[in-house]
Structure 1
C-alpha cells in the first residue's frame, strides 16, 4: 500500500508526462526504488467535470514509473473516445491515478453466483470471453450501483449483448488505491496542488 506522498508523486509523474508531450518543461523526479517495482495503473482525465480519457493496464508488467507515465500519455492523446488533449486544456484537466491490486478470479457456475460475490463501490471488474475483454474501475459503481446493470454495461463495453452469458465467461475483481488532484488527504493539503 502506498502512502499519500507516493500518490502525489504518481500524480506529478502523470501530469509531467502529459505536459512533456505538449512541449512543456517539467522537473524530473528521482527514480526511487518503489517506482521501479512492477505496477498496474489507470490514468483518468476529467475536463470540466466530464471524462476526457481513461487508459491503463490490468496487470503489473513494467516499472510503476513507466506504467503511470505511459498510461497518462495514452489517456491524454490516444483514448479513441476523445479528441487529444490540447495545450489550452492542460491547465484545466484534472488527473487521477488508480493503482490496481492483482486481479483475482471469481469462482462461479452461473451469472447470479458471480454477481453475489461482487463488492459494489470496492471492486473493479474484468470481463473476459474469448477475445472479448473489458473492465470497469471501482469508481464506475457511482454511475452503476446495481451489480446486474454494472455487469450488463461491462458486457456492452466488451462488444456483447447485455444479456449474454456463457460458462466460459471469466470474471476477475481487483481493488484500487486512487489519488486525484485537488482532493484532500486526511490531515494534509490538497493532492496535486503546487505550493511555493
Structure 2
C-alpha cells in the first residue's frame, strides 16, 4: 500500500474540514474530483483539537479498510465532530478554533507472541497504533497518542486496556489479541492553515 503524498494528505484534511462545516450548516458536501487513491479501501481516523492548546475535541474513525477512503473520511469527520460520546457536538462557530488531523491507516495485523511479555519488545512507540480484543471488549489507540503523553510501551498497553474497559494489566491475560497498525498523519498547523505531515519518529 503506497503512502499518500503531502498534496493528497492536504486534500484529506481540507476535505474533512469542508465535510464537517457543510454538515454543521445542514448541507451535504459532494466532491466528484479527487485523487484516485481515495477510491481505495483504507482505514482512517479524524481527530479534532482545540487551538492553540491542542486539547482533544473529538476522534472517531474506521480501523479496518472496509470503505473507499473518500467515504470513510467523510463519515469519520462528521462522527468526530458530532458523535464522539466523550464530548458535546462541535458547533460551527467552534471550527474557527479547531485544528483538523487525519490519520490514514495500514491494515491491522495480529502481533504473534508466545508470552505476553514479548509485546514489550515487539511494539515501537511512534510507529505502532494498537487494537486490543478480549471477548466482547475492544479498544484502539492511534500511534500519536503515546508520543503525545510520553508513555512507554507498558503504559501504552495499560491505557489501551483501559480504553477497552478492561483492567490496565489485561494485556497479560490468555486469550487477548493485540493488533498493530501504522498511520500516516496529516494536520493543520492552525485552523484553516497549511497542512503538514506529522512525523512521530525523528
Tell me how many residue pairs correspond in the alignment. Answer: 187
Match 1:166 to one of 169, 173, 193: 173
Aligned-residue CA RMSD in angstroms? 1.9
Q: Which residue of 2 aligns with 1:150?
A: 156
Match 2:42 to one of 39, 56, 65: 39
Q: Which residue of 1 aligns with 2:199?
A: none
Whether contact under 8 Å (1:106, 1:173) holds in the other structure is yes
Q: Which residue of 1 aligns with 2:194?
A: 190
Task: Compute the TM-score of the two structures, normalised by the length of structure 1.
Answer: 0.89
* Runs of 4+ residues deviating >3 angstroms: 24-29
CA apart distance, 1:147: 0.7
Q: Which residue of 2 aligns with 1:124?
A: 129
Whether contact under 8 Å (1:41, 1:100) holds in the other structure is yes
Task: Compute the TM-score of the two structures, normalised by the length of structure 2.
Answer: 0.87
Gap runs ≥5 in structure 2:
197-202
CA apart distance, 1:91: 1.6
Whether contact under 8 Å (2:8, 2:35) holds in the other structure is no
Gap runs ≥5 in structure 1:
184-188
Q: Which residue of 2 aligns with 1:20?
A: 22
1:78-119 CA deviation, whole Å, 9 max, x = no partner? Answer: 000011001110121100000001111101122211121001
Give the secondary structure class of the aligned counterpart of 1:35: helix
Whether contact under 8 Å (2:42, 2:107) holds in the other structure is no
Distance 1:174 1:35 in 2: 19
Distance 1:45 1:29 in 2: 25
